[in-house]
Structures are given as structure tokens and as C-alpha cells.
């Protein structure tokens, strides 16, 4: 913990020095107060409630008429129960220089690739800050040197990515995790350089009339780990003796080629993301997500819009795919936008695994409750599978049988509701 | 395009002494088109502009909600203009930005930047009748008012607020428009739009826009600094105030692409 805070503070001090040297800039901040409640006690006796605070800030300054800019965004979360969820990060610490038809971006940054809504498989530059939310949309800052070229035939981005960020995982007292605790202190790497390997990526993106197209390639350490049983921590299980109760993340070296496409036809957005990945056990695999988003505006004589999102996920590793990969899932969602003065929005839907009838319902709603306050409600419920037993021993027996292993099996008792109130400064 | 609509469509008109004479007579349709073409010509040559604006949304009870934004615009010779709108408030939406390429014929291109995810999303510009940031201005009210997007009909001369005006009717070409027609009052001297009535798809009066506080820039471009849109059917209204505006600001094409959208601040 102390080490992590120190790691967090040193670039922060560096940034302060840079800020002091710069001209006047702009400072913004937000503080989020989060409460989570679960219907059931956790599988490892975790509590049914949790409180948490999130602090994010952004300092921005520019010079040379905006051709040079500096951004610093620190992030800090304090969690009531989960020591792993209490964490800090530098989301951005970056200098951008803009030339006539190019940009050079140097420092810690976040980059998003992709077009689909329910799965972001092409998006690979940044590691997922998985303790933040199950949706995988929170990302850790990644150090990079990124040259971006603007041409008539599209935008080409070249990335050099020194240094690797490990995925964050809920700790022993945290929830929304597998019965095994993930031991992030002993991660293993395929690369001999371990977390110091320099990764590379390149992406071409272009807009042609109603088409958006992008092709990318990444060569480096996979952001998505596989897991091995740890030999460091054991639990005594009656009849079995001591069994490992922790997992070690294993980061393999991969080459991943990605395709993104979006086509607008009338009120329909047609979307496709696909990847081809080599590296995991030397077997190349492919995955894709495709579907559409249709928006009906001014429904029922009101000023609100209703969007329909339908996306199909496919992964040719099928049931062998790693724990958080969807093998063959359908996602259906409704997005209601009130278009009111409080920017009220609701997104609700279901992901449904047609192979084993596993389902997850989700709801995300947000509205402004005062000029500088926003209220967000989120809920997830799992259905269609038997719950794992409350005690670790039975859970281990279930999970040790690969055919019974399921991505969401251990979430069957994790149904939760989250409320976050954010104040903006 | 936002800039053009707010500052141009609803307003504008340059000090061309000849404009008067150039409005051709002929059929009401010919005369209407001629007035629209002359009004459009008054905006030629602005090159680029940068402005700050505030929208104040009011509901029937008088509660208000404020949106502040900055707008950059680039004049294009062959096609419709380009614009970049950056939202500063409400604070939960600050940093959100909208890049638009208007086209004289066909659908506009629009990309939205969502700062929390660092995501650029191409959006459908077909949904033009929907409210812009929850206000009484719709996307089509805020977009570039290219002459080609309407057909026209001159109705009559009328005195409005002491000024000799043309009363002009125009009909959107696009079937996705939220309007069946608009009636505008333009003064004969400068071809500034002082008032517009908007009729919905059921042909009943939906909204009225009133422009005031006109100022002249570079001896050529008239801009209304206050535009008040009242919705007659809901009792809600939105007042749009322009604080600062500068022309020929040196913006270039490179300031209007997906890279510049991502670093819009």
C-alpha cells in the first residue's frame, strides 16, 4: 500500500514541477461518492455493502497558440473494504505537439479504439482498471510515444509503448471476483523482459462517406492474462487436503490484428469489430462482435429518443476461452435519452449466452440533480446458472472440473446495485 | 453548423448597398430564392470564426439550466462549412465536443467526442429534429443553413419592429426535417433575420425565434447576439447569447479533423 502510494506520488511531484514552470492553466476536478449493495453475502463471506470515494482531477495548459499542450490527470480511489480497490493512478501526464499534418504525443495517456457498445475487443493500448467496474471501460494510464499522421487517405498512428501495466483485481475482501484471490504480486510473463518489454502498435483509420474504417496491429504483452494456480497460498479442504486458493496472472506475448467498421444507413448504425490473435499457447484464434444501433427519435410524441442496441459476440475458442471472454453471446439493450434539461439517460439490457442459458441483466441510469451534481445508478443481476456453494471447498471442486467452469458462474450470487453521486469542481 | 446557424441563419446580413437591387422580382418562388441567395452571399469571405456562447434553458415554471460552449468554424468554398463545438458546462459534460462537416447536398458528417472514454463516435446526422443539448433549438436549427437545403417562396412585405421586411417562407428539402415550413422576417436593408416561425410536421405553429442585439463585424458581417427560441406547445424557451466573436482567426483545415476533435479543450 505504502509502496503503491509512493509510486503514485513521484510522478505527481514531477508533474507539479512542470505545472509550476508552465503558464496559467485550467484545473478541474470531480469527486464521486459510491455505495454498493449486494443481495447476498459474498461466497467468501464478504460484506453486503461497501462505500467508496473517487477523486479525479485534470490540469491543462497550452502554449505556442495551442500547438503545444500539457495535461495531467491523477486518479485516486479510497475503498471501505477492499485494499486492492484503494488505488491511485496517473491517467494522463502528457505533452502533445501539433505540427502541420502530424501530432507527437508523449507521456502517460489513454487511447480508445472501437465502435461497438457491449464489448471492446479491438481496444488494446491501455490496461483495464478492473477494480473500478465490470464493464472494462476504466483504463490505467499507459506510457507511450505516439506519432499521428493526418493524410488524405486517413489517419495513421504509430505507438511505442515502453512498460506494461498489470490489470487490477479485487482483493480478498473485495467482491465481484472469483472464489480465488488473484495474486498480483507474482504475475508471470512470457517475455523475459517481463513488465519492461517495449510493445508496438500501429493503426490506420479513415472516414469514407458513411463508412468509418480502421485496421490496427499490436505486438507485445497481452493486456488480458490467463491464470495459473498459485503455489504460495493454500486452504485445507476436507477430503482433499490443502488446495491452492490463489491464482497468478500470466501475461503472454501476442500479435493482434484488429478491424473496426461502422456504416450509417438512415437511423441505423451497423458495427463490426474483429480480431485475430496469435500467442496464446501458439494457437491463433479469432473473435468478432457485430450488430447495430437503431435510434427512434421523438418517441410517443415526446422529445425523448429510444435506441435499440443488438450485438452478437463470437469467439472461436468457444468454451475454452479465458474467464472473461464471451464465447457466443447475444447482447440486447435499450437506450432511452430524455433530452431534458438534466440530461437523463437510461441504458438497460441483457447479455445471453445461448450455449448454456446464462444471462446477465444490467441497468445504467444517470441524471443531473443540480448544476454541479450528477447521480448515477447501476445494477447487475445474474440468472440461469446454479449458484456456487457459499464455501470455498465446494466452489473449488466445481471450478476444478473444466466442463463446469463458467465465466459467470461465480457471479451468480453477486447481484448488486450501485449508486454514485458525483460533484464537479 | 452551429456557428453559421446561430450567427448566420438566424441573423447575418452584410452591408451591401446593392443587395436590394439584386433581389429579382418574378414569381414568388423566384423572388424567395433570390432573397435567400442574396442573404447567403452576405456571409461570403468570413474565412473562419471563433465564438463563445451561453444557452439558458427555461421551463414553464421559470427554472433555468445553463450550457456554455465555444464554437470554431471554417468557411469552405465548394461545400458546406466545418465546425467544432466544445462544451464547458454543465460540468459533467465538459470536454464533450462535436465536429460537423456540412454538405450542401446529402447528409452532414458528425463526430462526437466523449472525454470520459476518450472515444470518438460517428453519429447519424439524420436525427436532425431532436433537441440540441436538451434545448429548444434542434440540431437542424443549429446546423449550417445552406441555400440548397430549402425551397423558397416570397410571401409579402411587412413592417416588423419599425423595419421594412420581406416575409419569406421556406420548405426543407430533407424528409427527416422536423418542420413542414418556416416563415422568416428579413429586413430589406441588410437582409438580417429578425424573427422565424417554425411549423411542425402536423403543420401547426411549434416555435418562434426572435433575434436581437445585432452588431456589425469587419464592416460586413451582421450578427445577432441574442436569439430567443420559444416553444408554443410546451411553454419552454431557450435564450442563446453570444459573448465573444472574432472573424478571420487563422483557423485551418487541420483544426477540423478527428485528431483536433480529440484534443479540443
Q: Lowest mean pLDDT of A75-79, B40-44, B132-136, name the range.
A: B40-44
Q: What percent of chain B clears pLDDT 70, i.e. is strictly above it?
A: 92
pLDDT at B33 over 50: yes
Domain locations in chain B? 2-262
pLDDT at A397 over 80: no
pLDDT given for residue B144 in this prediction: 77
Query: CA of A371: how far to CAs of A343, A422, B64, B66, B138, in Å?
Result: 11, 11, 10, 8, 22
Give the CATH fold of the B2-262 domain: outer membrane lipoprotein receptor (LolB), chain A (2.50.20)
Each residue of A5-41: pLDDT tens digit?
455 555 555 555 555 555 578 999 999 999 999 999 8
Among candidates A166, A278, A261, which has minimal Cα distance to A208?
A261
Asked if A354 is an interface residue toward chain B (Cβ–Cβ < 8 A), one would say no
> Under a CB-based contact definition with an 8 Å cutoff, are residues B169 and B153 in contact?
yes
pLDDT given for residue A273 in this prediction: 97
pLDDT at B21 over 60: no
Listed ranges A86-90, A172-176, B14-18; the one with the highest mean pLDDT: A86-90
Please give the mean pLDDT across all residues of chain A. Answer: 87
Average pLDDT over residues B151-170: 94
Each residue of B191-227: pLDDT tens digit?
999 999 999 999 999 999 999 999 999 988 999 999 9
pLDDT at A242 over 70: yes
pLDDT given for residue A20 in this prediction: 53
Q: Lowest mean pLDDT of A409-413, B20-24, B82-86, name the range.
A: B20-24
List the single best residue of A57, A297, A423 to mutate versus B (max B Cβ within 10 A): A297
Average pLDDT over residues B88-93: 93
Q: How confident is the model at residue A388 (pLDDT cuts 50, 70, 90)?
A: low
Domain locations in chain A? 2-424
Does the distance separating the beta carbons of B126 and A266 come in below 8 Å?
Answer: yes
Rounded Cα distance, A127 and A167, in Å? 6
Rounded Cα distance, B164 and A368, in Å? 45
> In chain A, which among 107-146 make CB contacts under 8 A with chain B?
110-112, 114-115, 137
Residue entry with cell 450550457:
B67
Instruction: Say yes or no: domain A2-424 is CATH 3.40.50.300.
Output: no
pLDDT given for residue A22 in this prediction: 53
pLDDT given for residue A4 in this prediction: 53
Kindly report the number of other CB atoms within 10 A of residue A266's CB atom. 12
Q: How confident is the model at residue A257 (pLDDT cuts 50, 70, 90)?
A: very high
pLDDT given for residue A230 in this prediction: 85
> Under a CB-based contact definition with an 8 Å cutoff, are residues B186 and B194 in contact?
yes
pLDDT given for residue A45 in this prediction: 86
DSSP-derived 3-state class of residue A400: coil
In chain B, the residue whose alpha carbon lies closest to the alpha carbon of A266 is B126
Q: How confident is the model at residue A244 (pLDDT cuts 50, 70, 90)?
A: confident
Looking at the complex, report in whole angstroms how far the Cα of residue B145 sits from the nearest Cα belonging to chain A.
Answer: 21
Each residue of B167-197: pLDDT tens digit?
999 999 988 899 999 999 999 999 999 999 9
State the burial class of residue A261 (Cβ atoms within 10 Å of its Cβ: 0-12, 13-18, 19+).
Answer: middle
Kindly report the number of other CB atoms within 10 A of residue A200's CB atom. 12
Does the distance separating the beta carbons of B258 and A155 come in below 8 Å?
Answer: yes
Average pLDDT over residues B54-82: 92
Residue entry with cell 423566384:
B30
Looking at the complex, report in whole angstroms how far the Cα of residue A214 sits from the nearest Cα belonging to chain B.
Answer: 13
Rounded Cα distance, A55 and A29, in Å? 7
Rounded Cα distance, B39 and B22, in Å? 11
Query: CA of A5: how far to CAs of A38, A69, A87, A297, B109, in Å?
Result: 29, 27, 8, 48, 45
pLDDT given for residue A328 in this prediction: 75
Among candidates A188, A191, A203, which has minimal Cα distance to A146?
A203
Q: Sign of torsion, CA B137 B143 B144 B147?
A: negative
Does the distance separating the beta carbons of A96 and B263 come in below 8 Å?
Answer: yes
Compute the count of residue pairs across chains A and B with CB atoms less than 8 Å apart. 94
List the single best residue of B105, B117, B255 to mutate versus A (max A Cβ within 10 A): B117
Each residue of A319-364: pLDDT tens digit?
555 544 446 789 999 999 999 999 999 999 999 887 777 889 999 9
What is the β-pairing status of strands A246-251 and A226-229?
antiparallel
Instruction: Indicate yes or no: pTM above 0.95.
Output: no
More confident residue, A91 or A301: A91
pLDDT given for residue B11 in this prediction: 39
Q: Sign of torsion, CA A384 A386 A391 A393?
A: negative
Q: Give the phi and the psi of residue A237 in degrees, each rounded to 5.
A: -115, 130
pLDDT at A103 over 90: yes
Asked if A69 is an interface residue toward chain B (Cβ–Cβ < 8 A), one would say yes
Let me know how many helices (H) and strands (E) chain A has, helices first. Answer: 2, 24
Average pLDDT over residues A112-117: 96
- Taking any CB pair shorter than 8 Å as contact, residues of chain B touching chain A are 57, 59, 63, 65-66, 89-94, 107, 109, 117-124, 126-127, 129-131, 133-134, 178, 254, 257-259, 263, 265
Query: CA of A406: how far to CAs of A355, A416, B23, in Å?
Result: 11, 19, 74
Rounded Cα distance, A117 and A360, in Å? 16
**A267 closest CB neighbour out of B92, B124, B134:** B124
Q: Give the CB-side neighbour count of residue B98, counting CA atoms within 13 A.
A: 23
Q: How confident is the model at residue B10 (pLDDT cuts 50, 70, 90)?
A: very low
Amino acid at each position: 500500500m505504502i509502496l503503491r502510494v509512493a509510486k503514485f506520488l513521484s510522478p505527481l511531484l514531477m508533474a507539479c514541477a512542470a505545472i509550476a514552470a508552465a503558464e496559467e492553466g485550467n484545473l478541474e476536478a470531480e469527486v464521486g461518492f459510491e455505495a454498493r449493495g449486494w443481495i447476498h453475502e459474498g461466497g467468501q463471506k464478504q460484506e453486503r455493502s461497501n462505500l467508496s470515494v473517487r477523486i479525479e482531477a485534470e490540469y491543462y495548459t497550452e502554449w505556442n497558440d495551442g500547438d503545444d499542450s500539457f495535461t495531467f490527470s491523477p486518479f485516486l480511489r479510497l475503498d471501505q473494504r477492499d485494499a486492492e480497490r484503494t488505488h491511485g493512478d496517473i491517467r494522463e501526464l502528457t505533452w502533445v505537439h501539433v505540427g502541420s499534418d502530424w501530432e507527437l504525443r508523449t507521456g502517460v495517456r489513454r487511447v480508445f479504439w472501437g465502435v461497438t457498445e457491449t464489448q471492446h475487443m479491438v481496444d488494446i493500448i491501455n490496461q483495464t482498471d478492473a477494480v473500478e467496474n465490470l464493464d472494462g471501460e476504466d483504463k490505467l494510464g499507459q506510457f507511450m510515444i505516439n506519432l499521428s499522421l493526418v493524410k488524405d487517405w486517413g489517419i495513421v498512428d504509430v505507438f511505442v509503448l515502453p512498460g506494461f501495466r498489470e490489470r487490477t483485481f479485487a482483493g480478498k475482501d473485495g467482491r465481484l471476483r472469483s472464489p480465488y484471490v488473484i495474486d498480483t504480486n507474482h504475475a508471470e510473463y512470457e517475455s523475459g523482459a517481463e513488465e519492461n518489454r517495449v510493445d508496438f502498435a500501429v493503426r490506420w483509420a479513415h472516414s469514407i462517406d458513411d463508412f468509418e474504417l480502421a485496421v490496427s496491429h499490436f505486438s507485445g504483452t497481452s493486456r488480458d492474462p490467463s491464470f495459473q494456480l498459485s503455489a504460495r497460498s493454500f486452504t485445507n479442504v476436507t477430503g482433499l487436503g490443502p488446495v491452492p486458493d490463489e491464482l497468478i496472472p500470466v501475461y503472454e506475448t501476442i500479435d493482434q490484428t484488429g478491424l473496426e467498421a461502422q456504416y450509417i444507413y438512415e437511423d441505423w448504425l451497423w458495427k463490426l469489430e474483429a480480431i485475430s490473435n496469435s500467442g496464446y499457447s501458439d494457437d491463433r484464434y479469432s473473435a468478432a462482435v457485430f450488430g447495430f444501433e437503431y435510434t427512434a427519435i421523438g418517441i410517443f410524441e415526446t422529445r425523448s429518443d429510444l435506441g435499440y442496441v443488438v450485438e452478437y459476440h463470437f469467439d472461436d475458442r468457444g468454451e475454452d476461452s479465458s474467464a472473461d471472454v464471451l464465447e457466443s453471446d447475444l447482447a440486447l439493450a435499450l437506450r432511452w435519452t430524455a433530452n431534458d434539461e438534466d440530461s437523463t439517460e437510461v441504458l438497460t439490457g441483457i447479455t445471453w449466452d445461448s450455449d448454456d442459458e446464462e444471462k446477465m441483466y444490467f441497468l445504467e441510469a444517470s441524471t443531473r440533480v443540480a448544476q454541479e451534481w450528477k447521480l448515477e445508478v447501476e445494477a447487475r443481476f445474474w440468472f440461469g446458472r446454479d449458484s456456487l456453494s457459499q464455501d470455498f471447498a465446494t466452489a473449488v471442486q466445481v471450478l476444478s472440473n473444466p466442463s463446469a467452469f463458467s465465466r459467470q458462474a461465480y457471479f451468480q450470487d453477486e447481484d448488486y446495485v450501485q449508486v454514485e453521486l458525483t460533484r464537479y469542481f | 453548423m452551429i456557428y453559421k446557424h446561430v450567427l448566420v441563419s438566424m441573423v447575418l446580413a452584410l452591408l451591401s448597398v446593392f443587395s436590394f437591387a439584386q433581389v429579382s422580382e418574378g414569381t414568388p418562388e423566384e423572388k424567395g430564392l433570390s432573397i435567400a441567395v442574396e442573404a447567403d452571399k452576405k456571409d461570403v469571405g468570413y474565412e473562419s470564426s471563433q465564438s463563445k456562447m451561453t444557452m439558458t434553458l427555461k421551463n414553464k415554471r421559470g427554472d433555468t439550466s445553463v450550457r456554455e460552449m465555444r464554437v470554431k468554424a471554417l468557411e469552405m468554398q465548394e461545400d458546406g462549412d466545418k465546425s467544432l463545438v466544445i462544451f464547458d458546462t454543465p460540468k459533467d459534460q465538459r470536454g464533450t465536443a462535436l465536429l460537423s462537416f456540412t454538405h450542401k447536398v446529402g447528409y452532414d458528417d458528425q463526430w462526437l467526442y466523449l472525454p470520459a472514454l476518450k472515444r470518438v463516435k460517428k453519429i447519424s446526422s439524420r436525427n436532425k429534429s431532436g433537441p440540441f443539448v436538451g434545448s429548444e433549438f434542434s440540431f437542424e436549427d443549429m446546423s449550417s443553413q445552406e441555400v440548397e437545403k430549402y425551397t423558397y417562396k416570397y410571401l409579402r412585405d411587412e413592417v416588423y419592429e419599425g423595419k421594412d421586411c420581406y416575409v419569406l417562407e421556406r420548405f426543407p428539402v430533407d424528409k427527416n426535417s422536423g418542420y413542414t415550413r418556416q416563415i422568416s422576417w428579413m429586413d430589406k436593408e441588410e437582409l438580417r433575420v429578425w424573427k422565424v416561425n417554425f411549423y411542425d410536421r402536423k403543420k401547426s405553429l411549434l416555435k418562434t425565434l426572435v433575434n436581437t442585439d445585432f452588431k456589425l463585424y469587419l464592416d460586413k458581417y451582421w450578427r445577432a447576439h441574442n436569439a430567443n427560441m420559444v416553444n408554443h406547445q410546451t411553454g419552454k424557451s431557450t435564450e442563446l447569447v453570444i459573448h465573444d466573436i472574432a472573424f478571420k482567426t487563422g483557423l485551418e483545415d487541420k483544426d477540423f479533423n478527428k485528431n483536433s476533435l480529440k484534443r479540443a479543450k
